[in-house]
């Protein structure tokens, strides 16, 4: 088969099956969206999250913190990032310190979440879009994957439905480091080691790195081991 025939066949395959295009392979690659975490970017295909593709991150330990750091990295690089909080679980303090260029969307329903994701992806104004708290299913996945390709946005869905994902990620917490009291008892968590596994066509790698632990809740109990029972019947 001649080189021209191979090029024509490759173009036809990419057109018919865009979501099966390998993330590795020289000139076939596109610029990726770096997470800003060196150890993680090192194992990701081409050094970051796939632009114009769907990545699925299983909702396990550390996913939210790492993706939030990735959003910060995108904004620090002069681009925009958006986070769709489908189940309204992000605390205000968790997000209030974020700089401009980083947008938090809290839709009223699952349908609104899908519509918001579709519009933001097709706008082409965002380098990274995280969809958390609700998962696209069936034709929704197809539509959002096409929208990500049209807008050139790296779409990360936090969930388990990975049938059309170009990149699959899982993470789990390994070991905590604590700030101790004068008596040697654990008081506050300082950081935790996280293992992230990345799988794509031709890629099966993992990285282990620490992430800091931030405390956003207001402790209302005098003793760390005691629950706050104010307002409960005696």
- To the question of domain 31-212 being in CATH 3.40.50.300, the answer is yes
User: CA 40, CA 93: separation in Å to the nearest integer?
Assistant: 26
The confidence band for 28, taking pLDDT boundaries of 50, 70 and 90, is very low
The confidence band for 188, taking pLDDT boundaries of 50, 70 and 90, is confident
> Mind listing the pLDDT tens digit for each residue in 3-23?
565 566 556 655 655 544 444
Opening angle at CA 210, ends 167 and 29, nearest 5: 25
More confident residue, 10 or 125: 125
Task: Spell out the domain ranges in the chain.
Answer: 31-212
pLDDT of residue 26: 39
More confident residue, 46 or 31: 46
Question: Quick one: DSSP state of residue 233?
Answer: -
Name the residue with tokens 């975490």: 37
The confidence band for 71, taking pLDDT boundaries of 50, 70 and 90, is very high
Q: Mean pLDDT over residues 73-78, rounded?
A: 89
Q: Mean pLDDT over residues 164-179, rounded?
A: 92
Supply the mean pLDDT for the chain: 81
pTM of the model: 0.76
User: CA 97, CA 177: separation in Å to the nearest integer?
Assistant: 24
pLDDT of residue 171: 95
Opening angle at CA 65, ends 199 and 152, nearest 5: 55
CB 120, CB 129: distance < 8 Å: yes
More confident residue, 180 or 43: 43
Asked if pLDDT for residue 181 goes beyond 90, the answer is: no
Tell me how crowded residue 147 is: count the other CB atoms within 10 A of its CB.
22
Q: What is the dihedral of CA 15, 84, 175, 191, to 10 degrees?
A: 120
> Mind listing the pLDDT tens digit for each residue in 128-150?
999 999 999 889 999 999 999 99
């Amino acid at each position: 088969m001649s080189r021209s025939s191979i090029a024509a066949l490759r173009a036809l395959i990419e057109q018919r099956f865009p979501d099966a295009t390998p993330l590795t392979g020289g000139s076939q690659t596109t610029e990726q969206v770096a997470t800003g975490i060196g150890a993680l970017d090192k194992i990701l295909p081409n050094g970051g999250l796939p632009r114009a593709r769907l990545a699925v991150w299983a909702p396990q330990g550390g996913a939210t913190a790492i993706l939030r750091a990735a959003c910060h990295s995108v904004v620090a690089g002069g681009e925009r990032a958006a986070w769709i909080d489908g189940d309204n679980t992000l605390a205000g303090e968790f997000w209030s310190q974020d700089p401009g260029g980083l947008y938090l969307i809290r839709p009223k329903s699952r349908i609104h979440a899908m519509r918001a994701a579709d519009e933001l992806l097709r706008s082409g104004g965002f380098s990274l879009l995280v969809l958390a708290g609700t998962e696209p299913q069936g034709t929704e996945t197809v539509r959002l994957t096409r929208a990500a390709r049209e807008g050139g946005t790296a779409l990360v869905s936090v969930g388990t439905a990975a049938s059309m994902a170009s990149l699959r990620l899982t993470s789990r917490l390994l070991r905590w480091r604590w700030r101790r009291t004068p008596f040697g008892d654990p008081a506050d968590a300082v950081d935790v080691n996280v293992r992230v596994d990345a799988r794509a066509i031709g890629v099966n790698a993992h990285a282990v790195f620490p992430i800091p632990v931030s405390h956003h809740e207001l402790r209302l109990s005098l003793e760390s081991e005691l629950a706050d029972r104010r307002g409960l019947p005696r």
